[in-house]
Amino acid sequence: MPNPRPKTKHLPKQQTQWQHLPTKAIRVPALLSDRLLQIAKVLDRYQEPPAHALIGAELEFIQLVEQLHTLSIDELTQLQQALPLILEQKFHDQSRC
């Protein structure tokens, strides 16, 4: 039997982790659920979601940038030192084409 006037003052207030509200529960195949949730979280990080759906290389690039945030300062410094050489090689390869 439903409680018409439940007492909720003692319950902790939950904070949503989603930036864009309201949220909606959807049914998706279990096999795809983790990947779709990951994509939704990436899209939600933007103030305004992109007008087009992110696919392929665009999504991979966003995920790569997000992974950079997990690196330590030492790892980021190593990456900073390696990037000029990588860029030089890429520009050289591109100019040969």
| DSSP per-residue string spanning 43-64 | HHTSSS--SS---HHHHHHHHH
The residue among 23 and 2 whose pLDDT is bigger is 23
Q: Which of 13-22 are b and which e, b meaning 16 or more Cβ less than 10 Å from the residue's Cβ?
A: eeeeeeeeee
Residue 53 has pLDDT above 70, yes or no: no
Please tell me the predicted confidence (pLDDT) of residue 1: 73
C-beta separation of 79 from 87 below 8 A: no
Among 28-37, 55-64, 86-95, the minimum mean pLDDT is found in 55-64
The residue among 26 and 40 whose pLDDT is bigger is 26
37: tokens are: 């949730």
Please tell me the predicted confidence (pLDDT) of residue 50: 58
Average pLDDT over residues 57-76: 83
Residue 55 has pLDDT above 70, yes or no: no
Residue 17 has pLDDT above 80, yes or no: yes
Residue 14 has pLDDT above 70, yes or no: yes
